[in-house]
Amino acid sequence: MRVVLAGGGTAGHIEPALAVAAELIDQKVCEINDIIFLGGKRGLESRLVPAQGFNLEQIDIIGLPRKFNLDFIKYPLKLLLARQATLSIFSKFKPDLVIGFGGYVSAPGYLAAKKMKIPFVIHEANARPGVANAKAAKFATKIIDTVSGSIAGAETLGVPIRKSLASFDKAKLSVEGLKHFDLPAGRTILVFGGSQGAERLNQAVVEIVNELTATGINIIHIAGNLNFEKYQKISTIGAGKYLLLSYCDRMDLAYAVADLAITRSGALTVAELASVGLPAILVPYPVGNGEQRHNAAALVNAQAAVLLENKDCTGAELLTLINNLIATPNKLSDMAQRARSVSRPNAARDIVNSIRMIKT
């Protein structure tokens, strides 16, 4: 089977596609050259996809602007040109199946597949679907979602995650993680805002760095490329270590050494937290259709995470929550167990098993 995987922009769209690609190869549905990724020209796919050895075809496309402006007026033409470019790619590659993971890159992929009568599958990671997936669902060969009922007629199989997290062994990896990050033994808090970083989280954590390190707590702070430089001169006190990163290529090791995460609640993040059993303070990004708040519900309802609204995310509020969680005996270990109870570590395998049934 020759397969196109469409998704780009952020890790939330790219990592699930990479997990499915790896599973397609493991199940011998495809060889590596039978798979291509359809991506944009501005996202993380330019680095993440080739790093895994896959071929990447890039098209010039942007997301549908949320405001009426010049980009909004130009969007129909941009989409038409992107569809034409995608048709050219498909004509050369001759795929048997297209799998889209949402986002602006998927839209021209769905349109080209429909035009060429190629079966296509939609994967919706969020509790509320994005525009591309919602519009294309009525024409899709198969729909797969993460939260039951997010799209009518979908099969609920979860978010595919990389194998290193699906078969996660915290005790084994934590030793390697402490060495990798050069951290002293002790409690560690992991702070990240997705692949782009999150300034509200960054600022709130920086406000309380010294209070935390003074008590011996380590902090791994993945600030994102856009905000990294402004925090480089931070000096800390105490036995705890403050480690500032712009991006982390070994999130498995970061999860392994962490006792608590402070992060956004993108669908991929929520799935990974559940799989590795990491308690969290979740701060949903308050844009779009509110999907991040709904994504957080699985962990919050399971009492595996605490929800903190973005407008309330200050250093003082974070410090109160952190102290309450750490001060309660066995609280974090109980939250970790509850997180694992809602995980779907075999989502990639289940998705590939499902799409193998499609007649191409």
CA distances to 88, 100, 227, 254 from 141, in Å: 22, 11, 41, 38
Listed in order, strand segments (DSSP E) in the chain are: 3-6, 35-39, 55-58, 97-100, 120-124, 142-145, 155-156, 188-192, 218-222, 242-245, 260-263, 280-282, 305-307
Nearest partner of 333 among 297, 304, 295, judged by Cα = 304
The CATH topology of domain 3-162+345-355 is Rossmann fold (3.40.50)
Structure tokens at 60: 């010039």
Amino acid symbol at 210:
N
pLDDT at 11: 84
Distance CA 232, CA 255 (A): 23
* Three-class DSSP category at 289: coil
In sign, the C-alpha dihedral spanning 12, 61, 95, 117 is positive
The CATH topology of domain 168-341 is Rossmann fold (3.40.50)
In sign, the C-alpha dihedral spanning 175, 181, 184, 189 is negative
Q: 213 with 219: CB under 8 angstroms?
A: yes
The per-residue pLDDT string of the chain (360 residues; one tens digit each, 9 = 90 and over) reads: 999 999 888 888 999 999 999 999 999 999 999 999 999 988 889 999 999 999 999 999 877 667 777 777 788 888 899 999 999 999 999 999 999 998 889 999 999 999 999 999 999 999 999 888 999 999 999 999 999 999 999 999 999 999 989 889 999 999 999 999 999 999 999 999 866 668 899 999 999 999 999 999 999 999 988 778 888 888 888 889 999 999 898 999 999 999 999 999 999 999 999 999 999 999 999 877 788 999 999 999 999 999 999 999 999 999 999 999 998 879 999 999 999 999 999 999 999 999 998 876
Q: How many CB atoms lie within 10 A of CB 51?
A: 10
57 has which bridge partners? 38
- Tell me the domain boundaries of the chain: 3-162+345-355, 168-341
Q: 114 with 84: CB under 8 angstroms?
A: no
- DSSP state, residue 48: H
The domains spanning 3-162+345-355 and 168-341 adopt the same CATH topology: yes
Nearest partner of 21 among 122, 162, 166, judged by Cα = 162
Structure tokens at 272: 């990974």
pLDDT at 195: 61
Helices (H), 105-242: 106-115, 131-136, 163-166, 170-181, 199-207, 209-213
